[in-house]
A and B are shown apart, each in its own frame.
Chain A
Amino acid sequence: ETGVTQTPRHLVMGMTNKKSLKCEQHLGHNAMYWYKQSAKKPLELMFVYSLEERVENNSVPSRFSPECPNSSHLFLHLHTLQPEDSALYLCASSQDRQTNTEAFFGQGTRLTVV
């Protein structure tokens, strides 16, 4: 138990569906992150939020839409995804962006797009 909880753990969706991934942390952290982990590829940083404000968007397609309504919750809204978007989506949090504190990861959502 890392203090970062992701739901659902598994998700299968069609290319025309709309779904959302949820991440919750009660560690009092100010920074939250979405990562994508595809098979045989390094983790890719997708989005960074600091104090509920998006500070990084690493050239992610618009079919992925993040939302951070408060410092404890982070969502990733998905629509019209492609099969190549199938991957493990990981949420993480850290005390803040700047200092060298460790990041805490959730267990991830295994997404399959059919």
Chain B
Amino acid sequence: DAKTTQPNSMESNEEEPVHLPCNHSTISGTDYIHWYRQLPSQGPEYVIHGLTSNVNNRMASLAIAEDRKSSTLILHRATLRDAAVYYCILRDGSNYQLIWGAGTKLIIKP
């Protein structure tokens, strides 16, 4: 199974953009890149996903490297409510399973 590598934690200031990196050098051609986040005492929450092209939605943007070996989740203006663990996940194209990693704990400073 292809795996992802993320920093254990990151800090950012409130109302500033946040770039969360993810490496997935063994990604296969049919694996989708998904991002979820988990707030304290909550279940994970979907953020965004993509295959090759950059993606935008109301929560975030996803920038995918041309070789697909890395991606970056961009929160355009972080708020205190964005403090969570962010998971970069590959969705196996053959068995459709989400392959979870350890995630990045995002700390937002007021």
Q: Do A and B bind? A: yes
Binding site for B on A (CB under 8 A): 2, 4, 42-45, 48, 56, 90, 92, 97-98, 100, 102-108
**Chain B hits for A105, CB < 8 A:** 43-45
**Could you pull out 10 A-B pairs where Cβ atoms are within 8 angstroms?**
A2-B43, A56-B95, A56-B97, A90-B44, A97-B96, A100-B32, A102-B46, A107-B41, A108-B42, A108-B43
- Which of these binds chain A: B17-25, B65-73, B98-106? B98-106
A98 to B96, CA, bound (A): 6
A44 to B97, CA, bound (A): 11
**Chain B hits for A44, CB < 8 A:** 100
- Is B97 a contact of A42 with CB atoms below 8 Å? no
Total interface residues in chain B, CB < 8 Å: 19
* Smallest Cβ-Cβ distance to B48: which chain A residue: A102
- Is B102 a contact of A104 with CB atoms below 8 Å? no
**Chain B hits for A103, CB < 8 A:** 36, 44, 46, 98
**Chain A hits for B46, CB < 8 A:** 102-104
A39 to B95, CA, bound (A): 26
B79-99 vs A: 1/0 string, CB under 8 Å? Answer: 000000001000100011110
B47-82 vs A: 1/0 string, CB under 8 Å? Answer: 001000000000000000000000000000000000
**Chain B hits for A42, CB < 8 A:** 100-103
A101 to B74, CA, bound (A): 20
Cβ of A59 to closest chain B Cβ, rounded Å: 13
From known contacts A42-B102, A107-B43, infer whether A100 and B97 are also in contact, taking CB-CB under 8 Å.
Answer: no
Known A100-B32, A105-B44; further 19 A-B contacts with Cβ < 8 A: A42-B100, A42-B101, A42-B102, A43-B98, A44-B100, A45-B97, A48-B97, A56-B95, A90-B44, A92-B43, A92-B44, A97-B96, A102-B46, A102-B49, A105-B45, A106-B43, A107-B42, A107-B43, A108-B42
